[in-house]
Amino acid sequence: MEIVFLDKKTIGEVSNFTMLHKLGNVEVFDQTDPSEVVPRASGKEVVITNKVPLTRETLDALPGLKLICVAATGTNNIDLKYAQEKGIQVRNVKSYSTESVAQSTFAMLLHLLNRMSYYEAYVKSGAYSKGKIFTHHGPAFWELSGKRMGIVGLGNIGRKVARIAESFGMEVVFYSTTGRNNNINYKRFDLDTLLATSDVVSIHAPLSESTQNLITYEKIRLMRPCAILLNTGRGGIVNEAGLARALNENLIGAAGIDVLLEEPIRPDNPLMRVVDKQKILITPHMAWASMESRARLIEGIARNIEQYKQDQAAD
């Protein structure tokens, strides 16, 4: 079986990558520009891609292609309808990053809430060593216990975040971005009520027509002045210009952002111009990328190829 991985650099070095080599002849490229897809994928039965787009025109130029393995959960870079018309299977990997994203969500939250950058800088500057008492009362922080966590999107990751929040003693409420989730374990709120009454708002929804630009400046104005907004879901859900404005106007306490509308971040992104850098934490779409998560991703890709081979043999 001829297999090509178009953008392996997106998953980094993974200890179990050899699982794929056992399934066929695998050609690996760190990155692939759209203009390079056809020559690199020609003659391949299986294409593995994370972010490289596979358009209608590209699929037409690859008559031997039978299976697209997405090295992620989202499939928005694939023309799914046309792939189906051509009989090309598309298989993604679900739930591989749940633990990693949930952990990273709370790493961001606690970093912002406890003002760790400030206190670390205070000590390393030498100021603490010159102090007269054992402690230092700098920026105040509050406890999670007894506060409300509002979750936007209560899927696998959202539910994991909810359970961790409960272990901190938080009350959990949620907003269903589809309107179909009626989880009996938590109160379901409309978006405005969730934003207005939550101490922490954490986004774990996919990007869709219903979530595009969901959190605007006007929506952020509903939030509490001390509230923290977290987005480890998808870029495009939070309006970045609106968030930057809200932070500069001190409408909310802080924001932690792991996903952006354009990645890598553009130098002129308004979030780069937030005046108080302590109020915003921006990470490079890495919340998903624990070592274990990436290993589970490879296992999922391998299972998808193995299942395809079994289905072909059965036919």
Q: What is the pLDDT of residues 55-71, one digit of tens each?
A: 999 999 999 999 999 99
Quote the CA–CA distance of 203 and 151 in Å, as a whole number.
Answer: 6
Does the pLDDT at position 121 exceed 90? Answer: yes
The answer to whether residues 251 and 135 belong to one domain is yes
In the predicted model, is pLDDT for residue 239 greater than 90? yes
Q: Could you tell me if 158 and 253 lie in one domain?
A: yes
Instruction: Check whether residue 116 and residue 192 sit in a common domain.
Output: yes
Average pLDDT, integer, range 28-36: 97
Residues 57 and 183 in one domain: no
pLDDT at residue 315 greater than cutoff 90: no
52 and 161 in one domain? no
Catalytic residue among 111, 224, 285, 303: 285
C-beta separation of 26 from 20 below 8 A? yes
Q: Which CATH number belongs to the domain containing residue 275 in this structure?
A: 3.40.50.720
Please check whether residues 301 and 169 belong to one and the same domain: no
User: Is 294 one of the annotated active-site residues of the chain?
Assistant: no
Predicted pLDDT of residue 69: 98
Q: Is 143 a catalytic residue?
A: no
Kindly report, residue by residue over 253-289, the tens digit of the pLDDT. Answer: 999 999 999 999 999 999 999 999 999 999 999 999 9
Q: Say yes or no: 214 and 124 in one domain.
A: yes
| Residue 124 confidence class, pLDDT cut points 50, 70, 90 | very high
Model confidence over 178-203: pLDDT tens digits?
A: 999 888 999 999 999 999 999 999 99
pLDDT digit string, tens, across residues 130-165: 999 999 999 999 999 999 999 999 999 999 999 999
pLDDT reported for residue 30: 98
Is 303 annotated as catalytic? Answer: no
Do 143 and 185 reside in the same domain of the chain? yes
Cα(94)–Cα(74) distance, integer angstroms? 9
Per the structure, how many domains does the chain have? 2
Same domain, 132 and 42: no
The answer on 6 and 76 residing in a single domain is yes
CA distance 304 to 75: 15
CA-to-CA separations, 148 to 112, 166, 192, 197, in angstroms, rounded:
16, 10, 14, 7
Among residues 36, 218, 262, 263, the one annotated as catalytic is 263
- Residue 271, both tokens: 């979030």
Tell whether 275 and 156 lie within a shared domain: yes
Order the strands of the 89-91 sheet from edge to edge.
Answer: 25-28, 2-5, 46-49, 67-70, 89-91
For 62-117, write each residue's pLDDT tens digit: 999 999 999 999 999 999 999 999 999 999 999 999 999 999 999 999 999 999 99
Could you list the residue range(s) of the whole structural domain that residue 249 is in?
98-282
One domain for residues 218 and 272:
yes
Catalytic residue among 148, 159, 204, 234: 234
Find the mean pLDDT for residues 35-47. 98
